[in-house]
Amino acid sequence: MRGFQVVLTLMAAAACFALCVGSATAASQRPVCPGPHAAGNAGCHAHVVTNGKGTPQVTVAPSGYGPAQLRGAYGLPSSAPAGQTIAIVDAYDHPNIASDLNVYSSQFGLPLCNASNPCFQKVNQNGSASGPFPKTNSGWALEIAMDVEVAHAICPNCKILLVEASSNSLANLAAAVRTAAKLGATEISNSYGGSEFSSEMSETYGGAYNQPGVAVTVSSGDYGYGSFGFPAAHPGVITVGGTTLTVGAGNTYGGETVWSGAGSGCSLYVAAPAWQSFLSACGGKRGSADVAAVANPSTGAAVYDSVKYQGRSGWFQMGGTSLSAPLVAGVYALAGGLPAGSTGASGLYGHLGNSTVLHDVTSGSNGSCSTIMCNGAAGYDGPTGVGTPLGIGAF
């Protein structure tokens, strides 16, 4: 049995090596929170790599990119200025997330979060650390695991605050965002979305995402061009699209293309903010995305989750714009957060076309259209916005 376990470990390590050196070979994958979702509700934007039978693929050792690959490819420092707290807002409960985070941290040599280093806290929608917490949902638990672990991977010395909404209703998720802001989060990551609706900018919904001085990141969606929804349409958030990332030798940047699943498009209801006034392709409406990072599950991240998803637990390989949103939140934290009083992605657009601080993703597409809203292009494009991080200078 011991020899068999060693063989399994070596096989898993070999699989990780093949990915970690940057192979972009397509892998079978599935959405973790498949729809359709009822009006007024959100789905998580995580995707998980599957085996030939469509079952989530679990390995005994990490498969996919880890902290060294993610930080190395994007040229990121290993620590943030003091005082940065990344809030993760998700629905339902992950009962084991504190211990799962430490399994992940032990694997990759990151700081453990414990009594002597209280870098992680979980609260409910109302801000109580003692509960009661929502019921467990295995799909959202896998989403939570990815969000929390990726945030810690990008910014190991940041505090991570998990705020669990009572359900996946957009009203409850908005309430959780408010709680995150009240508890002092400097960044708030939201890896979910629902369809746009005419009252989305009301105080009940849109008011929660208007947080001056806080970098509120939102995933753009995983169903390609036209899948852009809410809260990604909110003008006060930083909407994060997705790419296929190749990591080169020594964890260097090997290139990116548009991920075919990355959500993009033009809002049905929200006018373009001033910093998108140039965006003629949307006819005066808010466009998505603003910025991007790796999202393709084939070049996705290693995630540890002990809550059984489809009967399996352990090391998963995951992607979706649910990966890119907490990653970019971590980049903002490394940069020291948004300046006081500023909101949304306005600062990013001041660096549009600056190849010293942004990788410009100019190839690939996420659907069929005649504009830059579904095609990689020089400068701005819908699937990847102004580009992907090259250090922290644009953030």
Neighbour tally for 338: CB within 10 Å: 23
Identify the helix (H) or strand (E) that includes residue 99: helix 97-108
Cα-based torsion angle of the residue sequence 260, 74, 45, 139 in order, rounded to the nearest 10 degrees: 130
Q: How many secondary structure helices (H) and strands (E) does the chain include?
A: 7, 18
pLDDT digits (tens, 9 = 90+) for 84-99: 999 999 999 999 999 9
- Dist. CA 32–CA 47, nearest whole Å: 5
What is the per-residue DSSP string for 169-217? BHHHHHHHHHHHHHTT-SEEEE-EEB---TTTTSTTTGGGG--TTSEEE
pLDDT score at 190: 98
pLDDT score at 25: 59
pLDDT digit of tens for each residue in the chain (395 aa)?
Answer: 333 233 333 333 333 333 333 344 578 999 999 988 999 999 999 999 999 899 999 999 999 999 999 999 999 999 999 999 999 999 999 999 999 999 999 999 999 999 999 999 999 999 999 999 999 999 999 999 999 999 999 999 999 999 999 999 999 999 999 999 999 999 999 999 999 999 999 999 999 999 999 999 999 999 999 988 999 999 999 999 999 999 999 999 999 999 999 999 999 999 999 999 999 999 999 999 999 999 999 999 999 999 999 999 999 999 999 999 999 999 999 999 999 999 999 999 999 999 999 999 999 999 999 999 999 999 999 999 999 999 999 99
Determine how β-strand 192-193 pairs with β-strand 215-219: unpaired
pLDDT digits (tens, 9 = 90+) for 36-50: 899 999 999 999 999
Q: Which CATH architecture does the domain made up of 2-389 adopt?
A: 3-Layer(aba) Sandwich (3.40)
pLDDT score at 13: 36
pLDDT score at 280: 97
- Dist. CA 282–CA 286, nearest whole Å: 7
What percent of the chain is predicted at pLDDT more than 70?
Answer: 94
pLDDT score at 130: 98
pLDDT score at 19: 37
Domain ranges of the chain: 2-389
Residues 165/193, Cβ–Cβ less than 8 Å? no
